[in-house]
C-alpha cells in the first residue's frame, strides 16, 4: 500500500513499504530547515497508513531532532529533566531520552553490569510509557552511532493483530482494561529486589485493552508492562495476557529494523509494540536518542505527566 506525496515543496520525498503489513521508509527528508506543513502532513499520513516510518540518511543535531518532534505534539520529557545538570563528558539535550550503551564519559557500559540490567526488559515487546496515565503518541529514535552488527529493533502492528484475532477473542477484549505496571513488568522478566519505595515512584495504571485510533482502526493495547486485568485473579489475568502476547508476536506480524547511521525510526505507541535485540558484546558503541510526543496536554516531565487526566475518545 502506498500513499501520495504532496507535489510541492517535498516533491523529492519517496515512500517505500518495508513489510507486507506495515512499516515504510521515507527518503528525502532534511531536518536542517524547520518542518513545513507539507512535510508534517506527509509524515502524519504515512504514520496513519504504516504505523512505523523510517527516515533515512539524517545528520540531525539534537536541536533539529527536538524541533521536528515538536511539530507532531507536546514532548514527553525524560524524568528529572527539570533537574538536568551539564555532564562533564558526553552531551545530550535534556529533552531527549538516552537510548545508548554509553556513560556520561562516552565509555561503553558493560552489558552484564547492574546499570544496564533494568534496560534488558526492553528486549520484551512493549509500548513506551504505557505505565503512565497519559500514554504517548509517537517515539522518534535517531541513530547517531550504530554498531555494525546486533542491536536490531523489532516492531509489531497491533492494528493488524487486532484484525486477526478470532471473533470470540475480539468480543472478549472489547470492554476489558489491563493494568500496566512498570515494576511488575520488570519482575516478570526476572528483575528482583523491587522495593515498596521503588513501586511508589511508578504505581500501576489501567488502560483499555482495545484502543481506537483517530482514523477509526482498532488496535490491541498490550505489551510487557501489561500485567493484570481489574477484577481478575493475577494468575488468570497473566494467562490471558500472555496468550494475547504470544498471538501478537507471531513472525508474520514482525518487522525487523536493521539500523544504519542516520536512520530515524518513528513508531506510533498507540498501535505498535517494539522490542530491542541484545547488543551483548561490549566492543561497539551505540548512540541512539529518542524524542517522545504525547497526544495532548502540556509539555511536561514523564514523572509529573502521570497526573494528567486521560482524554479517552
**125 part of a folded domain:** yes
Q: Which residues constitute the domain of residue 82?
A: 14-305
pLDDT of residue 69: 98
Note whether residue 127 is domain-resident: yes
Q: Which residue has the higher pLDDT, 302 or 60?
A: 60
Nearest to 128 by CA among 251, 296, 302, 279: 302
- The total number of structural domains in the chain stands at 1
Tell me whether residue 278 is exposed, middle or buried, using C-beta atoms within 10 angstroms of its C-beta: 0 to 12, 13 to 18, 19 or more. exposed
Query: Where residue 311 falls among pLDDT bands split at 50, 70, 90?
Result: low
Residue 2: band (very low, low, confident or very high) from pLDDT cuts 50, 70, 90: low
Task: Residue 161: give its domain's CATH number.
Answer: 3.60.130.10
Whole-prediction pTM? 0.90
Cα–Cα distance between 291 and 62 in angstroms, integer?
Answer: 9
Query: Is 5 within the bounds of a domain?
Result: no
Which three cell numbers mark 51?
Answer: 504505523
Greatest extent of the chain over all pairs of C-alpha atoms, in Å: 57
pLDDT at residue number 4: 55
Contact 291, 71 (CB under 8 A): no
- 192 within a domain of the structure (yes/no): yes
Q: Is residue 1 part of a domain?
A: no
Cα gap 168→239, rounded to integer Å = 17
Q: Is residue 206 part of a domain?
A: yes
Tell whether the model's pLDDT for residue 312 goes beyond 70: no
Q: Residue 118: what pLDDT?
A: 62
pLDDT digits (tens, 9 = 90+) for 74-93: 999 988 644 444 445 678 99
In a domain, 310, yes or no: no
Residue 4 lies in a domain: no
Amino acid at each position: 500500500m502506498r500513499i501520495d506525496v504532496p507535489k510541492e515543496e517535498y516533491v523529492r520525498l519517496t515512500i517505500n513499504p518495508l513489510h507486507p503489513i506495515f512499516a515504510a521508509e521515507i527518503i528525502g527528508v532534511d531536518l536542517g530547515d524547520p518542518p513545513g506543513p507539507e512535510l508534517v502532513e506527509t509524515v502524519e499520513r504515512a504514520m496513519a497508513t504504516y504505523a512505523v516510518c523510517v527516515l533515512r540518511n539524517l545528520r540531525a543535531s539534537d536541536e533539529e531532532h527536538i524541533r521536528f518532534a515538536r511539530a507532531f505534539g507536546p514532548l514527553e520529557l525524560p524524568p528529572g529533566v527539570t533537574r538536568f545538570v551539564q555532564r562533564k563528558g558526553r552531551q545530550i539535550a535534556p529533552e531527549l531520552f538516552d537510548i545508548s550503551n554509553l556513560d556520561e564519559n562516552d565509555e561503553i557500559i558493560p552489558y552484564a553490569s547492574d546499570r544496564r540490567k533494568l534496560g534488558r526488559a526492553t528486549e520484551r515487546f512493549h509500548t513506551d510509557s504505557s505505565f503512565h496515565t497519559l500514554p504517548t503518541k509517537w517515539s522518534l529514535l535517531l541513530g547517531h552511532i550504530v554498531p555494525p552488527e546486533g542491536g536490531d529493533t523489532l516492531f509489531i502492528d497491533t492494528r493488524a493483530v487486532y484484525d486477526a484475532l478470532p471473533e470470540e477473542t475480539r468480543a472478549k477484549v472489547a470492554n476489558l482494561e489491563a493494568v500496566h505496571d512498570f515494576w511488575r513488568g520488570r519482575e516478570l522478566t526476572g528483575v528482583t529486589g523491587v522495593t515498596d519505595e521503588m513501586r511508589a515512584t511508578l504505581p500501576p495504571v489501567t488502560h483499555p485493552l482495545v484502543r481506537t485510533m483517530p482514523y477509526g482502526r482498532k488496535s490491541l493495547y498490550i505489551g510487557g508492562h501489561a500485567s493484570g486485568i481489574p477484577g481478575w485473579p493475577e494468575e488468570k489475568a497473566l494467562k490471558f495476557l500472555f496468550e494475547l502476547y504470544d498471538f501478537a508476536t507471531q513472525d508474520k506480524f514482525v518487522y525487523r529494523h536493521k539500523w544504519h547511521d542516520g536512520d530515524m525510526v518513528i513508531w506510533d505507541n498507540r498501535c505498535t509494540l517494539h522490542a530491542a535485540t541484545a547488543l551483548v558484546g561490549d566492543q561497539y558503541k551505540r548512540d541512539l536518542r529518542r524524542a517522545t510526543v504525547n497526544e495532548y496536554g502540556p509539555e511536561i516531565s514523564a514523572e509529573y505527566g502521570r497526573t494528567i487526566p486521560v482524554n479517552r475518545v
